[in-house]
Amino acid sequence: MSIKFNVNGFPYEVQAADYAPDTTLNAFLREHLHLTATKYMCLEGGCGSCVCVIRRRHPVTQEVQSRAANSCLTLLNTCDDAEIMTDEGLGNQQSGYHPIQKRLAQMNGTQCGYCSPGFVMNMYGLLEQHRGQVSMSQVEDAFGGNICRCTGYRPILDAMKSFAVDSNIEVPPECVDIEDSFELLCPRTGQSCRGSCSRPPVRDQGGSHWYWPKSLTELFGSLGQVASGELYMLVAGNTAHGVYRRPRDIRHFIDVNMVPELRQYIIETDHLLLGGNVTLTDAMQVFLLAAKRPGFEYCAQLWQHFNLIANVPVRNNGTLAGNITIKKQHFEFPSDVFITFEALDVHVLVYDNPSTQRVMNLLSYLSDTTSKLVLGGFILKAYPKDRFLFRSYKILPRAQNVHAYVNAGFLIEWQDIQRRIVHSARICFGNIRPDYIHDDQLEQLLPGRDLYDPATVAQIFQQLPASLQPEERPPEASPEYRQMLACSLLYKFLLATAPKERVRERFRTGGLLLERPLSSGSQSFETIKKNYPVTQPVQKLEGLIQCSGEATYMNDLLTTSNAVHCAFVTAKRVGATIEQIDPSAALQCKGVVAFYSAKDIPGANNFVLTDQLTPEVDEVFAAGRVKYFDQPLGVIAALTHDAAVYAATLVVVTYARDQRKVYTTMNQVLAEKQTDRIVSKSRDPVEPLKMPPLAPGDVLGRGILELESQYHFTMEPQTTIVVPLDDILQVYCATQWMNSTQGAIARMLRVSVNSIQLQVRRVGGAYGAKVTRGNLVACATALVASKLRRPARFVQTIESMMETLGKRWACRSDYEFRARANGSIIMLTNNFYEDAGCNLNENVVDFLTLPVLRNVYNLTDSNYRTQGSAIRTDAPSSTWCRAPGTAEGIAMTETALEHIAFTCQLDPADVRLVNLQPGNKMVQLLPKFLASTEYRKRRDQVNLYNSQNRWRKRGLGLALMSFPLNTIVAFNYPVTVAIYQEDGSVVISHGGIEIGQGVNTKAAQVAAFVLGVPLDQVRVEASNTVSGANSMLTANSMTSEMIGLAVRKACDTLNTRLAPVKERLGPRATWVQVLQAAFLQSVFLIATESYRLGDIPNYNIYGLGLTELELDILTGNHLIRRVDILEDAGESLSPHIDVGQVEGAFVMGLGYYLTEQLVYDRQTGQILTNRTWNYHPPGAKDIPIDFRIELLQKSPNPVGFMRSKATGEPALCLAVGALFAMQHAIQSARNDAGLPREWVRLGAPTTLETVVLNSGSQVEAFALQ
């Protein structure tokens, strides 16, 4: 039997028996149709890289619906009769590019490009869904499910908002209008689809069954095929898989998408009926219609709340019944559908059979154990607004696409609306504990009482905390915060709904939610036309093919059909010795080919080269004592990715009973004085500090700054493909350091280095994650390929990456200061510690942190001492992460300056001014920056605002930076430039890696400038270990400059060779004529050069950042109102690229300081935040609302390549200003709360919980007056 559908206009017929029942559309597109524009990373609908567009006819209205969908969640068998569009089908080199693709590329919306197809298709789905009639607000709302780690989102949003009907964004003239959508054609007949094709009711798939009922009767017929005890699943969008993984032993899959009884809605005068299988998106559209009718005005509030559920592709396909079913199966699930519907006393319509239906309330349904019950619909009552009051709330760790810390719904029925006397109340909270939904005591207290009477309010908040006893459930926020948050939401409800005259004016904004206006940005930079295309703001070379999905990444490469897939087997007991590994159960699984462990490694069990940067052994597979939770013990090879991942869980490991105590954090080590774990102590300077006596007016202070780790969150997973060819291994690896990967594999296999050859065309995001950590995956893959002599592919899941690989070095600073009354530093000492994990590789203490600590300040041997130490913990070896060590070093010093200003009660800008190092460039830059950003005026405005608002605060945070660009090792980047005499085109091959930073574009710009040819005649080939032999790592923001310098050297060599030919031919000779004449004279048209140590002297990059934020004290939610950044980039080689680097680095820094929290089990070391479900990098609506970037003009770098400076990492250091803005706002709240004036310890991340628990709010003090 077959299912039929169209993909990009081409019909496909699939024999279902040939595919596993849980095969996703993503797997089919990529692995069977080889349409690799549709990417994947998280496989749970949380990253957006897999988005495509699906059109199908609605079974009730018969209208064609076009919706963006997560192909990683959409099951293949639910695509029957659908029309699927992927990015390469939307536009490509052959047929021409789509306006969305062109506009995103031309407006600098790509960097690494891995996320770009998902953004394009999500936008295309939005335009199709609304027939092109979208507003800028709708567009900005639509990308909550698309993560971009590179760009900082601003250029992406600009490109997408330019399609809105109310757009005022300037559009490149070559972008044409969006085309009309086309009619859905039936894949069976080729005619216009009527949506009524009959399907066989059942199909056997290797022990599993799929059903496609087209009516309620057929649905129950399908359920009748399910034997007692067998698991079945009603399938619609399969979006629940993004929360809880689907059981493997489901035997019956019933596609309910085309059952009309479950997809209808009816609006009557007294109720609204929504079919159980109505999607969240369709429900939201119904809410907008219903909200216009008397009694259903509250549906506008439901729309607002549902707009915060998941993301657009998930809402497009997830259904109301599906969401409630998750709650039924997992009562701890903080369902927003449930909490709002329960507050509204929504009843459900359930079917025991096609002719028997009953109505019950939601809680009864959740506890009902009747087998094969079908949730047919939801009945929402009319609540006339003159008798009822409804509000709902959801507080999230970031702006979009996160489950709630706490959600709530409140419904009040008035007995006397004039006097605000309550008749009845429904007070519901979510994510407190499974058995607490209604606050029964409050629901009994409120009837007959004036809701806003001071005595009532006081009694509410005396009573509520006792009822709210949240359970401890890591990685969820603490019970203390969730209790406070629940109380705050009810208080916010009272503030928002009370008559204006009954609420103190300063309190009123506390009743409002933070409303984010449309974001915008400005970019200011200098270009020098005589140097074009260098300094010209050009489009990235790869921009268009990235936006069309034609740019290939490692996992897009095809291998032969006998390739195997790999997955790690990992350890679960830290500190214990491995006694035995038994893979027998795994090897018996269908499709499993082999298992290898440390005993199978013929050479060195080490995935790094033991050199200056990585002096210690990093085991490929643990061979003795386990060093950290989830340390790889071996690798499974299987015929499919899913088979390998599953089989890896079946390997049985036996440990000796010699487990030692585990130290998972630096603070544990320090608290228990484990001095043997505190290593690599460094001092600056070495001599002890001599202190003068304390003078009148001097101030003293001390503090602690804790900066936790950060996951890199590369959109492209760690990926390696190894193909045995002849007597070599051809390796395709997403690495930042080919030489390291090549050497590590060769040493592990005990073969010559020249028998391992790498090729890297591009990498989909790196940030340090792929300098050496990717070698672990590469070595495991190479071992499998070598042993089996067949291609091997290893694509790590996000869980595996977050579990097995190291992250940013966490940092703790214990500092102490003495300062004069004007803030000038008399003494500053800083003892800092950085978390190395289980070994000291990629140590940041000496090379990266110590050199930046003095920053721009007058910290000399007479007033300054620091000591830095690396600490070994039982965790994966920490690794470099964007601005490694430098971000922490600058944050430490800037925090100390901020603390001094607080202690002296001075403006932080004035304290920085008085402490600047004489002669430092910042002496000129800071006063100008303060003036251009209107700092003084804005600080006064912030203080005035804070004095007028009790529960809403603003803050300003200033951060300064001197980022040293130092060559810490002998960098080497071979470059080859070749010219083809036939047409004069140029090709470059270099030893760097294109990771999104634009090294290829800058190299091409330099070549075009030096050779005097058009930029479009220059190509950059994939990097490899032949022409790029012995290349160093692509890191530290330096690669683009070094490659550019080597390109210029090579082009100068070619120009020198061509000069005699040009002179002979005369000035009228064309470029091609010169080349052809040179070729006939045997002039060598290939030149190879390299950057050499010392070619570019060390220099400093200066930066200034000013962050303004607004804070909701009751919830901890915040908005970044405005950010100004001035960065000294010299003469930018490529301004659009450099501005993008600044924006992206800063937004990654915002994630580091505000939203990205890693949570571990402190006893075992297991990471608990290992997915997009619970780890939260910034999204499109977390960026600054007003984002202003200026590259310092008329400031050439005299020692830099072509007078430029690097831009990739420094701006991340300026994001620490968000902490200072937060401190400013929190201090105002603490002052209002009557707390003593004390410095608040804020670090990374400063979450909503940190804010609320440090703001001094007391539930007992909640009042309206």
The residues annotated with a catalytic role in the active site are 1209
Length of the chain: 1265
Under DSSP, the state recorded for 1160 is B
Is 766:760 a contact under the CB 8 Å cutoff? no
E strands, 941-1000, are 952-965, 973-979, 986-990
42 annotated as a binding-site residue: yes
Query: At CB < 8 A and 24+ separation, what contacts does 520-524 make?
Result: 520/1185, 520/1186, 520/1187, 521/154, 521/158, 521/1143, 521/1184, 521/1186, 521/1187, 521/1188, 521/1189, 522/1187, 522/1188, 522/1189, 523/1135, 523/1139, 523/1189, 523/1190, 524/1188, 524/1189, 524/1190, 524/1191, 524/1193
Is 1084:1057 a contact under the CB 8 Å cutoff? yes
148 annotated as a binding-site residue: yes
1051 annotated as a binding-site residue: no
Rounded Cα distance, 9 and 218, in Å: 31
904 annotated as a binding-site residue: no
User: Residue 1042 half-sphere exposure, CB side, CA atoms within 13 Å?
Assistant: 29
**Inter-axis angle of helices 1135-1150 and 154-161, to 10 degrees?**
110
**Inter-axis angle of helices 320-329 and 336-343, to 10 degrees?**
100
Query: Which residue type, as a one-letter code, is found at position 553?
Result: Y
487 annotated as a binding-site residue: no
Closest CA to 964 of 920, 1005, 1002: 920
Closest CA to 1262 of 676, 495, 715: 495
Rounded Cα distance, 973 and 991, in Å: 5
**Inter-axis angle of helices 908-915 and 922-932, to 10 degrees?**
160
186 annotated as a binding-site residue: no
Is 1186:934 a contact under the CB 8 Å cutoff? no
Is 35:25 a contact under the CB 8 Å cutoff? no
811 annotated as a binding-site residue: no
3-state DSSP assignment of residue 297 = coil
50 annotated as a binding-site residue: yes
Rounded Cα distance, 1059 and 727, in Å: 44
Closest CA to 307 of 190, 138, 546, 146: 138
Spell out a b/e string for 560-578, using b for 16 or more CB atoms within 10 Å of the CB, else e.
eeebbbbbbbbbebbbbbb
Rounded Cα distance, 285 and 58, in Å: 14
Contacts of 937 (CB under 8 A, 6+ apart): none
The token pair at 1091 is: 């950057």
Where on the phi/psi map is residue 263: left (φ > 0), alpha (ψ -120 to 50), or beta?
alpha
150 annotated as a binding-site residue: yes
Task: Please report, for residues 1107, 1216, 1217, the alpha-carbon distance to residue 1222 in angstroms, rounded to integers and kept in the order given.
Answer: 10, 10, 9
Task: Please report, for residues 211, 442, 908, the alpha-carbon distance to residue 316 in angstroms, rounded to integers and kept in the order given.
Answer: 22, 37, 48
742 annotated as a binding-site residue: no
Spacing of C-alpha 578 from chain mean position? 35
Contacts of 741 (CB under 8 A, 6+ apart): 731, 733, 735, 758, 774, 775, 778
Query: Hey, how many other C-beta atoms are within 10 angstroms of the C-beta on 524?
Result: 13
Task: Please report, for residues 399, 715, 1101, 1107, the alpha-carbon distance to residue 1219 in angstroms, rounded to integers and kept in the order given.
Answer: 18, 27, 22, 9
736 annotated as a binding-site residue: yes
Is 1229:1215 a contact under the CB 8 Å cutoff? no
Rounded Cα distance, 827 and 691, in Å: 8
Query: Which residue type, as a one-letter code, is found at position 813?
Result: S
541 annotated as a binding-site residue: no
Number of DSSP helices (H) and strands (E) in the chain, helices first = 33, 42
Strand partners, 965: 1099
Under DSSP, the state recorded for 917 is P
* Residues that constitute the known binding site for FAD: 375, 394
- Binding residue positions for Mo-molybdopterin: 736, 882
Known binding-site residue numbers: 42, 47, 50, 72, 112, 115, 148, 150, 375, 394, 736, 882
